[in-house]
Structure 1
Amino acid sequence: MLNERQLLNGQPVAAEALTSLRNWFPVTVQGREIVWRYVQDRFTASFFTDTLQQQNPAQRYLCRTGFDWLKRLEPGLMPSAFIFHTSRCGSTLLTQLLSTLSCCIVMSEPPVIDAFLRRHQTEPEASGGSANLRQLILALGQQRSPDETHFFIKLDSWHTQFLPIFRAAFPDTPCWFLYREPDAILASHRRQRGPQMVPGMIASLAAETLEGGDLDGYCAKVLAGFFEAALANVEHLQLINYRQLPDILWQDLLLRQGIDCTSVQLERMRQRAGFHAKDQRIHFSTDTPSISSHPILQQQVEPLYAQIEQHRSRGQ
């Protein structure tokens, strides 16, 4: 993931010089300003920030505007679904499969949403609430081609706690929640820990404390928070277990969206599913949970996982 300093790495363009925000995408929020980057290519990389990083340095342009500029945007596509998740549960694979379809705009963890939510958490009145969140999301859904008819956003794993503000902004948009056996998630983070599993990296998780250097215990506490947030909003979520991937995408999710794939599109998705979600050069292999679990995982997280599974079973 790019840090904010890298997001701001571009040739400045004065807002007054712009005649349109077409192909300009919001990347972060700083105080009363939105920072935009100019991107002509489709966002097909594993993460939104990967597309920015892959840009030719000579083509990196940066612009700052006030929030009032959101009203100047041409109407974008309404989001087709929000993708919430627990991390290391197949959410990146899901977005990679969606991005193989030319009809889909796919934004994977756009950092402007996290920047907005952090501001909303500390300054709820100054953030503009769900109205500004709605406009930022619509700015991400710019339609570049008539073929683009659907718009999917994968959020960061710690965003499930903010689901009510997404519902306020888009009450009719489906919300998917991907999850996995806690042992398997922990095994993946033991191999390479994400920022959400490192104390102090994610402000909204700062209340979780590290005890005696116990990183696995911290990870378990964070996972408990993810599952608790999902259970608190379970009536608004379509629950998707990692074990259901990838077939559930074309057997259920796309059909609900009115997307009927051709045999060529299905084969392309199946081929993509055989490779690592974050690196198309590596064949996929699943993480094997270690023999030793963790007491917090067993006592707190596994019962929450069981409750989620019960809800999913009742919904089928």
Structure 2
Amino acid sequence: MEPVLSAVPQPVPARLHHEAGRITADWADIAGTDPGLPFFDDRIAGAGPGWRAELPLTGDAPAPAALILHTGRCGSTLVSRSLSLLTRCHVVSEPQALNDVLSVDGVWPFLPAATKVEALRRVAAALARIARPDQDRFILKLSSWNALHLPLLDQAFPGVPKLFVYRRPDEILVSLRDRPAGWMRRAAHRMQAGLFLGGTPSQVADTPLAFAAQVLGRILAGVVRDVERQGAGDWLLVPYEALPQALTTQILPWLGLIPTAEEADRLAHAAGRHAKDPTGRQRFEPDGTRKRAAVTADLAALARDLADAHHDRLEHLRLQAGQA
């Protein structure tokens, strides 16, 4: 299927700033860029020259129909790209402007929670406004580390259902060892790393991979607390092993979506492709067995000491809620 490219202007916030008490943004017009690209910033990279202007109030823009949170390296991009194939879904994946609000860079970590909540709402509203008239499901996929900020996200988007995609910690750590994530560089700067973790510099692990295990453990623990506090009804928990079948058996019913025959064909095709390949030509090969075979004793110890218990508790909550 050829992507539908918009000829109507689609101004979006690319980066966010807090200047003299005002929330401003670097804007880009993404009209004419491919909405099927894996990440929102891929579209911004293909846009024309940008400009700086204030970020408008939320107005009457719709709230997200769902948030997608995840551990990273777990199949979440398959979920977001597949949902973007459905006519009714307006999917925005990991926008940098939202990352800016939750980052430990610049002034953002030192601003009041109420200011950050307002900024998150304004970013989401700006992204919602570019949806087509036939897109009534605005789905916001967050970056993996954004889940460290669940209390802020719950304040910004109260009552919005949350989908959490996750995977065995040792398999994630193998992937992060082989292809480190950008946020792992924080480990080299203990003050920033402490802020990133929500703790103190003295609590930061002394290697990037150990830091990654700490972050993963905190993400899982935070989701466990939120599920236990809110009840599993507000969450859909999807393990990597359930994909891609869970797309049609769990995720679409949870969103209240019934695909047409044409959309079902698109989903089936997407399930066999590597989700992070922008061309859509690279075949997807399940790699769980290979990753488990690559787990070293040191890596297994990191997973066991910092993340496994939270993963196991989450699995228990998922099964207890009947989300098998």
TM-score (norm 2): 0.81
Residue 283 of structure 2: aligned partner: 283
Q: Does 1:217 align with 2:210?
A: yes
Q: Does 1:195 align with 2:182?
A: yes
Determine the C-alpha separation between the residues in 2 that align with 1:75 and 1:149.
14
Residue 38 of structure 1: aligned partner: 29
* Mapped contact 1:28–1:116 kept (Cα < 8 A): no
SS in 2 for 1:233: helix
Q: Does 1:165 align with 2:156?
A: no
Determine the C-alpha separation between the residues in 1 that align with 2:169 and 2:250.
25
Cα offsets for 1:216-252 (capped at 9, x unmatched)? 3232222112112212212353211111112222222
Q: Does 1:298 align with 2:298?
A: no
What does 1:20-169 correspond to in 2, within 5 Å? Answer: 23-32=10-19, 33-40=24-31, 41=33, 43-55=35-47, 60-67=48-55, 70-71=56-57, 75-118=60-103, 119-124=107-112, 128-169=115-156
Determine the C-alpha separation between the residues in 1 that align with 2:129 and 2:286.
35
Residue 14 of structure 1: aligned partner: none
Determine the C-alpha separation between the residues in 2 that align with 1:298 and 1:163.
24
* Mapped contact 1:85–1:156 kept (Cα < 8 A): yes
Q: Does 1:226 align with 2:219?
A: yes
Cα offsets for 1:95-150 (capped at 9, x unmatched)? 1101111221111100000112235432126x723233212201101244221111
Determine the C-alpha separation between the residues in 2 that align with 1:44 and 1:185.
25
> Per the alignment, do residues 140 and 200 of structure 1 end up closer, same or farther by CA in structure 2, a change over 3 Å counting?
farther
Cα offset, 1:74, TM superposition: 6.7
Determine the C-alpha separation between the residues in 2 that align with 1:103 and 1:89.
25
Q: Which stretch shifts more, 116-125 or 98-107?
A: 116-125
Q: Does 1:255 align with 2:253?
A: yes
Q: Which stretch shifts more, 234-243 or 201-210?
A: 201-210
The alignment covers a number of residue pairs equal to 286
SS in 1 for 2:50: strand
1:286 partner letter: P
> Per the alignment, do residues 50 and 299 of structure 1 end up closer, same or farther by CA in structure 2, a change over 3 Å counting?
same
* Mapped contact 1:75–1:142 kept (Cα < 8 A): no
* Mapped contact 1:116–1:133 kept (Cα < 8 A): yes
Identity percentage over the alignment? 28
SS in 1 for 2:238: strand
* Mapped contact 1:98–1:106 kept (Cα < 8 A): yes
2:180 partner letter: R
Cα offset, 1:259, TM superposition: 1.3
> Per the alignment, do residues 210 and 300 of structure 1 end up closer, same or farther by CA in structure 2, a change over 3 Å counting?
closer
* Mapped contact 1:224–1:300 kept (Cα < 8 A): yes
Cα offsets for 1:155-195 (capped at 9, x unmatched)? 11111121222222221210111110111111211221111
Determine the C-alpha separation between the residues in 1 that align with 2:285 and 2:175.
11
Structure 1 unaligned spans of 5+? 1-20
Let me know the Cα RMSD of the aligned residues.
2.3
Q: Does 1:274 align with 2:272?
A: yes
TM-score (norm 1): 0.83
SS in 1 for 2:296: coil
SS in 1 for 2:282: strand
Cα offset, 1:42, TM superposition: 5.3
* Mapped contact 1:86–1:179 kept (Cα < 8 A): yes
Cα offsets for 1:39-60 (capped at 9, x unmatched)? 11453211111112234xxxx1
Cα offset, 1:257, TM superposition: 2.1
* Mapped contact 1:88–1:185 kept (Cα < 8 A): yes
Determine the C-alpha separation between the residues in 2 that align with 1:283 and 1:64.
40
> For 2:235, which of 209, 212, 237 is the aligned residue?
237
Cα offset, 1:209, TM superposition: 3.2
2:115 partner letter: G
SS in 2 for 1:30: strand
